[in-house]
A and B are shown apart, each in its own frame.
Chain A
C-alpha cells in the first residue's frame, strides 16, 4: 500500500461507467468512482448497494453502470446482503468452485447507513465479514427529497426540519457514525472527503479494501441539490468542511489506534463552511449568532475529543 501512485490510480479503468443518471456534479458518484479505483485491476468486486440515489440511477433496467457484479437488495440491508455474498464466496472457494479474488463492497447513503440500515450494518461489522462498507454521506435522505437523517448537522434546513418562523432547522446534533463503528473494534475504520488529488480517499479505500475483515469508510459527499450550492463548487465545500474541523480526516485501526490523517494548517471558523450552502442560509442572518456559536462549540468539542483519541 505504500506504493500508492496518484497517476497510476487515475490511469486504472473506471469501474463505475458513465451513462448513470445521477445529477450533474453529484458527490456520491465522485466518492464511489474513486473508492473503486483502489480495487486492483486484476481483482474482481461485488458491489452491494442499498436503495438510494446511487442505486436507482446506476442500475436502471437494463443499464448497469458497474463493470463488476452488482446487487441491489433493499434499503436497510446492504451490509447483510454483502455478508451473504461473502459467505457464498467462502463456501464456493472452499469447494473449489471459484478461484478468482473477489472484494465485497457494500454501499449506502447516510440514510441506509446511519438510520434504516444501521442494525444490519452493526451486525455485519460485528460478524467481521471480509468486506468494506462505504457510506457516501450527503447528510440527508436525498433520494426522497432532502429529509433530515441522523447525519444531518444541527440547524440544517431540510424538508422535514424546515427553517421557519419558529424553527432554525434541525434541532439535534448529528450522529458520529465513524466513532460508532470504530467502537465495534473492527480492523479498519476511516472517514474522508474530497481534497486535492484525493490521495487521502484513495489510500483509505485501498486500506479498507485490502485489510482482512470488516472495514468501514464514511465519505462526506456533498449533494448540490440538497445542500443548495452550484455544482462546480463541491471542492470548495469539502475543503471548508475539513478546514473548519467540521469533517476531520482520520482513521482508526482495530478500534484503538486513532490517527488524524490530515490536519488543517489553520482552523477556519464554521461560518466558512455554512456560507457556501443554501441549507444554512437562515443561520447567517442577523440575530442567529447564538446558534452559530452553538454549532461552533459542538464542532470544537468533537475536535478536541478526537485529538485526545489521536494522542495529539
Chain B
C-alpha cells in the first residue's frame, strides 16, 4: 500500500496529492464508515440462525462476514440498515430494530 490515505484528507495540499490522483491502497474504503447512515438496525439472533447463508449474498455493503461457511455478526461500522437480509431470512434470525442506530 504505497498511498497513506489518512494523509489525503479534504485539507490535503496540491503538492501532497497523489500523482494522477491514483490510489495504491486497495480496499481503503473500509476506512470510510457508512454505518452512521443507518436509520434501522438489524439484530442477529444467533440461536435462530441455521447458517443457510441466504442473507450473505443480498447484502449490498458486504456487512455479513462469512468464514468457513458460517456467518458472524454484522459489520455495524458499515451496515446501512437496508433490511434486505432480514426480509430474506427464512428463520427469523434477523430482526430489524426500527429507528434504532
Contacts and interface: CB of A to CB of B under 8 A. Distances in A.
Determine whether A and B are in direct contact in the complex, meaning some CB atoms lie less than 8 angstroms apart: yes
Question: From DSSP, what is the main secondary structure of chain B's interface residues?
Answer: loop
Task: Bin the interface of chain B by size.
Answer: 35 or more
Interface string A271-292: 0000000000000000000000
Contact of B87 (A59, A64, A235): A235
Contact of A18 (B30, B38, B54, B67): B30
Contacts of A29: 60-61
B32 interface: yes
A65 B27 contact: yes
A67 B58 contact: no
Contact of B30 (A17, A22, A34): A17
Contact of B68 (A11, A26, A37, A236): A11
A19 B30 contact: yes
A58 B32 CA distance: 11
Interface stretch (A116-124, A139-147, A193-201): A193-201
Interface stretch (A2-10, A74-82, A93-101): A2-10
A100 to B, nearest CB: 14
Contacts of B25: 62, 64
Nearest to A25: B82
Nearest to A61: B21
B90 to A, nearest CB: 11
Contacts of B99: none
A58 to B, nearest CB: 7
A16 B52 CA distance: 22
A20 interface: yes
Interface string A22-39: 111111111001100100
Contact of A63 (B32, B58, B66, B79): B32
A113 B69 CA distance: 35
Given A24-B37, A25-B84, A67 B27 contact: yes
Contact of B57 (A10, A21, A61): A10
B69 A11 contact: yes
Among B21, B61, B68, which residue has the most Cβ atoms of chain A within 10 A?
B61
Contact of B60 (A19, A22, A64): A22
A6 B56 CA distance: 10
Nearest to A202: B57
B62 A16 contact: yes
A22 B3 CA distance: 24
B69 to A, nearest CB: 4
A230 B87 CA distance: 11
Given A19-B31, A19-B34, A197-B53, A69 B26 contact: yes
A230 B61 CA distance: 17
Given A63-B5, A235-B88, A25 B83 contact: yes
A90 interface: no
A198 B57 contact: yes
B61 A20 contact: yes
Among A24, A59, A196, A234, which residue has the most Cβ atoms of chain B within 10 A?
A24
A300 interface: no
Contacts of A14: 62
Contacts of B82: 24-25, 231-232
Given A18-B30, A62-B8, A69-B26, 9 more contacts: A6-B53, A10-B53, A18-B79, A19-B32, A33-B60, A60-B32, A61-B21, A64-B26, A65-B27
